[in-house]
């Protein structure tokens, strides 16, 4: 089964058709720069351009960088605030004329890694952490997702964790990999003490450079880099396109 996976990010809106049985992209991903301001309508228009680029008429699964329930986006840390309480599913369906599901972006990336990547066949508590514009987290127990865990907003040293330890913070503050790894280590130790995970998977933009910072981490939990890099968001969003739609007519 094929679904168009879309990953809405703070800097880019990316999409590709995905074979959700294999977890593979069926075409090279198409990326547009996130509009500024990143209002729901402007982003939905980008999604429509992606739909048209691929001549798509089937289902869409969309990853969104905030909490999402029943197609309604509830928070907006790194996108325009008009997304708060927006019925994103309905809006995207109206604009694209395609049946759509919407899921948190880190949950999407985590689903892809759990099914096809670094978390495949791993039992127990697995936490996916995406390090990009923000910090996204996805919690799994024996492969089952607890949706919308917003652990990127844990408070560390009186600051939102993602303000100190996201990849954007590294770039913005011009931190060396080692200096940034120290901040990340403090954050991950906190997660470790709260959740006692069996495996941590690091994804998002920074995971491309995992060998520059993972060796500096001192936490005890086994930690690996995501295997699907930035394809995970698209593949996982596509998976959610079917999994969240189980009760809907196909
Ligand atoms: C949002 C999360 C999102 C993460 C990564 C955070 O600011 O609150 O929902 O998963 O950024 O995009």
CB-defined site of ligand 1, < 6 Å: 65-67, 75, 77-78, 104-106, 130, 134, 136, 150, 152, 162
Looking at every residue in the chain, the average pLDDT score rounds to 95
Mutation test residue for ligand 1: of 80, 152, 155, 168, the one with most atoms within 8 Å of CB: 152
* Atom 11 of ligand 1: nearest residue by CA position: 134
- The Å distance, Cα 64 to ligand 1 centre, comes to 8
Map tokens 């001192």 to a residue.
218
DSSP string, 125-177: EEEEEEESSSEEEEEEETTEEETT--GGG-EETTEEHHHHHSHHHHHHTT--H
- The Å distance, Cα 109 to ligand 1 centre, comes to 12
On whether the 121-227 domain is CATH 3.30.1330.10, my answer is no
Q: Tokens in use for 106? A: 């880190």
* Atom 10 of ligand 1: nearest residue by CA position: 136
Indicate if the pLDDT at residue 249 is higher than 50: no
| DSSP β-ladder status, 68-69 and 72-73 | antiparallel
- The Å distance, Cα 175 to ligand 1 centre, comes to 21
**Residue % of the chain over a pLDDT of 70:** 98
Q: What is the mean pLDDT of residues 43-55?
A: 98
Alpha-carbon span 29 to 232, nearest angstrom: 12
Alpha-carbon span 33 to 36, nearest angstrom: 9
Indicate if the pLDDT at residue 58 is higher than 80: yes
- pLDDT in the model for residue 157: 93
- pLDDT in the model for residue 243: 78
| pLDDT (tens digit per residue) in 147-205 | 999 999 999 999 999 999 999 999 999 999 999 999 999 999 999 999 999 999 999 98
Band (245; pLDDT cuts 50, 70, 90): low
Could you check whether 2-107+231-247 and 121-227 share the same CATH topology?
yes
Indicate if the pLDDT at residue 141 is higher than 80: yes
* Atom 5 of ligand 1: nearest residue by CA position: 136
Domain range annotation of the chain: 2-107+231-247, 121-227
Task: Indicate the CATH number for domain 2-107+231-247.
Answer: 3.30.420.40
| pLDDT (tens digit per residue) in 63-122 | 999 999 999 999 999 999 999 999 999 999 999 999 999 999 999 999 999 999 999 999
- The Å distance, Cα 231 to ligand 1 centre, comes to 17
* Atom 6 of ligand 1: nearest residue by CA position: 134
* Atom 8 of ligand 1: nearest residue by CA position: 66
- pLDDT in the model for residue 250: 44
CB 38 within 8 A of CB 76: no
Band (242; pLDDT cuts 50, 70, 90): confident
- pLDDT in the model for residue 246: 52
Ligand 1: atom nearest CA of 105 is 10
* Atom 2 of ligand 1: nearest residue by CA position: 66
């Amino acid at each position: 089964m094929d679904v168009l996976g879309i990953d809405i990010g703070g800097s880019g809106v990316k999409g590709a058709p995905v074979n959700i049985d294999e977890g593979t992209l069926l075409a090279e991903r198409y990326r547009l720069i996130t509009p500024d301001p990143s209002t729901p309508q402007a982003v939905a228009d980008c999604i429509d351009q992606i739909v048209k680029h691929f001549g798509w008429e089937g289902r869409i699964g969309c990853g969104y960088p905030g909490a999402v329930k029943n197609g309604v986006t509830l928070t907006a840390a790194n996108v325009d605030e008009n997304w708060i309480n927006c019925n994103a599913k309905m809006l995207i369906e109206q604009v694209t004329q395609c049946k759509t599901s919407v899921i948190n972006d880190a949950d999407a990336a985590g689903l892809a890694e759990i099914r096809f990547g670094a978390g495949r066949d791993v039992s127990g508590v697995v936490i996916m952490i995406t390090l990009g514009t923000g910090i996204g987290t996805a919690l799994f127990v024996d492969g089952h997702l607890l949706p919308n865990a917003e652990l990127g907003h844990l408070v560390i040293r009186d600051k939102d964790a993602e303000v100190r330890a996201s990849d954007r913070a590294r770039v913005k503050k011009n931190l060396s990999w080692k200096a940034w790894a120290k901040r990340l280590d403090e954050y991950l130790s906190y997660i470790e003490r709260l959740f006692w995970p069996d495996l941590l998977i690091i994804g998002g933009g920074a995971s491309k450079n995992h060998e520059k910072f993972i060796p500096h981490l001192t936490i005890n939990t086994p930690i690996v880099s995501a295997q699907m890099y930035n394809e995970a968001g698209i593949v996982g969003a596509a998976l959610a396109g079917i999994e969240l739609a189980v009760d809907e007519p196909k």
